[in-house]
Amino acid sequence: MEKISGYIDHIIFRNEDNGYTVMVMICDGEEVTCVGTLQYINEGELIEAEGTYTQHSTYGTQFKISSFELKAPEDELAMERYLGSGAIKGIGSALAARIVRRFKADTFRIMEEEPERLAEIKGISEKKAREIAQQMEEKRDARKAMIFLQKYGISSALSVKIYNQYGERLYRIIEENPYQMTDEIQGVGFKIADEIAEKAGIHTDSDFRIRSGMFYALKQSMAEGHIYLPREELFRRGAELLGVSLEAMERNLMDLAMDRKVVLKEDRVYCIQNYYLELNTAKMLHDLNVTADIADDTVMQKLADIETRTGTSLEELQKEAVVQAVNHGLLVITGGPGTGKTTTINTLIHYFASEGLEILLAAPTGRAAKRMTEATGYEAQTIHRLLEISGVPEEDSAGYHFERNMENPLEADVIIIDEMSMVDLFLMHALLSAVSVGTRLIMVGDVNQLPSVGPGSVLKDIIYSECFPVVRLNKIFRQASESDIVVNAHKINEGEHVVLDNKSRDFFFLKRDDANVIISVVLTLVMKKMPKYVDAGMLDIQVLTPMRKGLLGVERLNTILQEYLNPRSPEKKEKEFGSGLFREGDKVMQVKNNYQIEWEIRGAYGIPIEKGVGVFNGDMGIVSEINSYAEQMTVVFDDNKYIEYSFKELEQLELAYAITIHKSQGSEYPAVVIPLLSGPRMLMSRNLLYTAITRARKCVTLVGSEQVFQQMIDNEMEQKRYSTLKEQIQQWQEEE
């Protein structure tokens, strides 16, 4: 680390949201380009900065600031420079010179303590003197707060949030109960608050700390899919995090319940929001399950007409699904690949359309909705789009605001949702809130797929409650039975071992035991073999891997695949971001839902012919342009949708030559390549392997250890999800 000091000559760029600044400092008469997060500083100010010199490929030598301290101007020249920089509105360089000439080294004291004396200067009225004094006071207070918060190791960007939220109250909050910030400021989690509390000298057995830590542990468990935690499990996690006694946690748990932050039910502890979401979801499901009494013969006659008209031949369970859908407000259709789920959906659409009913189709992700549209010929959309999401979402789905809700329900007679295994409790609650009693809700999915990324176990709980009609499609149709992808997926699901003799046309296993050799084989497959074999582009071949980290994790694979599939070139611009970089021509994936970002479809000569908003977690595209001057990167997504990302929005994107199997849910690719070596037992499970294999349309190739492959088939372990939706549904049924 090195130290430099000097005054800020001019600011080249500042991101007002996070304080990231590029500026030129004058240090001992030399210009130094500096970069760093420096909110609330202005041209003309004197600072002492600590950091390191770095070499930027485009902009040359820069001083990267890790911390800094504001210094009061020490001489008349520095005072004049600061006042004339534009930091104080209404004072230009000429007026700054007159003020300093009049008050000399006493200038700043007079401006702060006797501001009325500024009116002695020609060009400053009494009103203007008061305005200048007020600005000086505000800047002094903000600076004082920034310096105070820096002592606690708080970043400039977070300091701004804290100061804007609390103003002068922040001193009392930091010194008495910094844990209050975890509820009130996004970006302050328990761990940050705990570090601040330690520096503020707050005891580890403080009740504020124990309550905040326990609530944090409960909320963190939602990332593992849990709706609640058993009391003992919460205490175990709390003890690890807090290092306090069981008695202290028990006492504070009661206080959390009294503060209506948690709900205690027997030995279960829920965040209050989760408890009522689950309770209301169960109630709405129960209310939708109304029955009709339309004779089977009537339905069968219509089905015969549809079969004749469409040239399809339905098996008994598919017909049963239609009968149940006609006679029930709620229906679940589940089945593996090749069992005719899509044919059943198409038949249901034909049936209800012939009745003149309004039908809506949706799926949890953009790619799944696109597949549904292609398979049915009817427009399908994401559930979020169906519910007309608006506003900026909070950290989790429960913070979304949907225009469609109980007061403004969806206008439809039949709603069909595909890929239901991906739907979490938050999204299910939002969907049900917008479905009126009397509307048929048909949920289609494969219960053996990976569970939703968000909390809950919605599809399984609905099926296992045994309170609603469920049709399990289990017959593999003749055409599908010719595919070893389908046949082997079903074998894996049943726990049967698969013959790996490579005599198949669409299912291959290449045995390799060294990670670097596996990567070499993956490169050969993606670049040379697969595109010809499945008649697809190189970037259409998807590499799927169980993990993010490790020798065969997403992060390492993407770095290597980028190097070979889209190598560095003078013709391709690049943008460094995080620990990696984006390059023109890269395959990328959107990794969070963004409902505000604008897209446009361009026609001839790049002229926009259609515009809209929204891009979704899992959407893939190609980087078409990086513009360093405008600080924008353009990505072309499916359907020729162009989106321009500012550089500060790039955290929404990741390289996507390789993606995790979890991220591939709801998507389908011409061919997938799956590198397999050892990994955590909990992760390397049967349903992860099943999900990966069923993503391939024409060909799947696994490269790696046969032993690991067979172990995954044997490993039925699924991480236990603490959820009580099944019990809540059954409770409503019993009360009827």
pLDDT of residue 267: 93
Joined together, the tokens standing for residue 318 give: 């598919």
Instruction: Confirm if 170 and 149 have CB atoms less than 8 A apart.
Output: yes
Instruction: Confirm if 455 and 274 have CB atoms less than 8 A apart.
Output: yes
Q: Return the higher-pLDDT residue of 83 and 224.
A: 224
What average pLDDT does the structure give for the chain? 87
Residue 606 has pLDDT above 70, yes or no: yes
> In 3D, which of 469, 471, 445 has the Cα closest to residue 459?
445
> In 3D, which of 151, 166, 398, 439 has the Cα closest to residue 281?
398
Backbone angles phi, psi at 39, to 5 degrees: -85, 155
CA distance 433 to 435: 6
**Cβ-proximal residues to 576 (8 Å cutoff; 6+ apart), any chain:** 57
SS3 content of the chain, % helix, strand, coil (to 5): 45, 25, 30
pLDDT of residue 307: 87
Residue 383 has pLDDT above 90, yes or no: yes
Range of lowest pLDDT (107-116, 135-144, 395-404, 568-577): 395-404
pLDDT of residue 209: 82
CA distance 469 to 333: 9
User: What's the per-residue H, E or C state across 361-403?
Assistant: EEECCHHHHHHHHHHHCCCEEEHHHHCCEECCCCCCHHHCEEC
pLDDT of residue 157: 63
pLDDT of residue 208: 80
CA distance 258 to 253: 9
Q: What is the DSSP letter of 526?
A: I
Range of lowest pLDDT (4-18, 138-152, 372-386, 576-590): 138-152
pLDDT of residue 46: 81
**Cα dihedral across residues 602, 608, 612, 616: positive or negative:** positive
CA distance 419 to 445: 5
**Cα dihedral across residues 129, 132, 137, 140: positive or negative:** negative
Q: In what order do the strands lie in the sheet with 228-230?
A: 228-230, 268-271, 262-265
Confidence of residue 85 (pLDDT cuts 50, 70, 90): low
> In 3D, which of 265, 332, 700, 708 has the Cα closest to residue 525?
700
Cα–Cα distance list, 649 to 348, 353, 609, 652, 689 (Å): 42, 43, 25, 6, 33
Cα–Cα distance list, 571 to 485, 539, 540, 566, 696 (Å): 40, 19, 23, 12, 34
**Partners of 268 in beta bridges:** 230, 265
Mean pLDDT of the 198-215 span = 80
Mean pLDDT of the 147-174 span = 74
Model-level pTM?
A: 0.77
Q: Using DSSP bridges, classify how beta strands 228-230 and 262-265 pair: parallel, antiparallel or unpaired.
A: unpaired
Residue with tokens 């070893």: 484
pLDDT of residue 396: 41
Joined together, the tokens standing for residue 641 give: 């949708």
Residue 432 has pLDDT above 90, yes or no: yes
Q: pLDDT tens, 256-282?
A: 999 899 999 999 999 999 999 999 999
Mean pLDDT of the 704-727 span = 90
Instruction: Confirm if 10 and 29 have CB atoms less than 8 A apart.
Output: no
pLDDT of residue 394: 42
Q: pLDDT tens, 35-45?
A: 987 766 777 77
- Name the helix (H) or strand (E) containing 441: strand 440-445
pLDDT of residue 385: 87
Confidence of residue 147 (pLDDT cuts 50, 70, 90): low
Q: What is the DSSP letter of 105?
A: G
Residue 56 has pLDDT above 80, yes or no: no
Q: Which residues are annotated as a binding site?
A: 338-342
CA distance 205 to 224: 27
CA distance 129 to 140: 16
Residue 158 has pLDDT above 90, yes or no: no
Mean pLDDT of the 366-371 span = 86
Helices (H), 245-358: 246-258, 272-288, 296-310, 316-327, 341-354
Residue 361 has pLDDT above 80, yes or no: yes
Determine the residue type at 58. T
Confidence of residue 643 (pLDDT cuts 50, 70, 90): very high
On the CB side of 191, CA atoms within 13 Å amount to 4
Mean pLDDT of the 605-614 span = 82
**Cβ-proximal residues to 380 (8 Å cutoff; 6+ apart), any chain:** 361, 362, 363, 369, 370, 372, 373, 418
Residue 393 has pLDDT above 50, yes or no: no
First CA to last CA across the chain, in angstroms? 71
Confidence of residue 481 (pLDDT cuts 50, 70, 90): confident
Range of lowest pLDDT (119-128, 226-235, 441-450, 726-735): 119-128
CA distance 342 to 375: 7
**Partners of 582 in beta bridges:** 575
**Cα dihedral across residues 510, 515, 521, 525: positive or negative:** positive
Instruction: Confirm if 539 and 671 have CB atoms less than 8 A apart.
Output: no
Instruction: Confirm if 493 and 482 have CB atoms less than 8 A apart.
Output: no
SS3 (DSSP) at 73:
coil
pLDDT of residue 143: 67
Q: pLDDT tens, 14-40?
A: 776 667 788 999 898 889 999 987 766
Confidence of residue 400 (pLDDT cuts 50, 70, 90): low
Cβ neighbours, 10 Å, residue 230: 14
Residue 399 has pLDDT above 70, yes or no: no
What share of the chain has pLDDT > 70, as a percent? Answer: 95
Total number of residues shown for the chain: 736
Q: What is the DSSP letter of 452?
A: P
Determine the residue type at 596. Q
Q: pLDDT tens, 678-695?
A: 877 777 889 899 999 999
On the CB side of 359, CA atoms within 13 Å amount to 23
Helices (H), 390-497: 425-433, 458-464, 478-481, 484-493
Confidence of residue 398 (pLDDT cuts 50, 70, 90): very low
pLDDT of residue 230: 95
CA distance 468 to 601: 43
pLDDT of residue 395: 40
Backbone angles phi, psi at 113, to 5 degrees: -105, -35
> In 3D, which of 71, 45, 39 has the Cα closest to residue 160?
39
Q: Using DSSP bridges, classify how beta strands 20-27 and 2-14 pair: parallel, antiparallel or unpaired.
A: antiparallel
Q: Which residues are annotated as a binding site for ATP?
A: 338-342
Confidence of residue 86 (pLDDT cuts 50, 70, 90): low
Instruction: Confirm if 705 and 678 have CB atoms less than 8 A apart.
Output: yes
Cα–Cα distance list, 265 to 228, 269, 455, 733 (Å): 10, 7, 19, 19
pLDDT of residue 409: 95
Mean pLDDT of the 153-169 span = 73
Backbone angles phi, psi at 144, to 5 degrees: -60, -40
Mean pLDDT of the 461-473 span = 95
**Strand blocks (E) in 15-166:** 20-27, 30-37, 46-56, 60-71
**Cβ-proximal residues to 406 (8 Å cutoff; 6+ apart), any chain:** 433, 434
CA distance 349 to 351: 5
Cβ neighbours, 10 Å, residue 28: 8
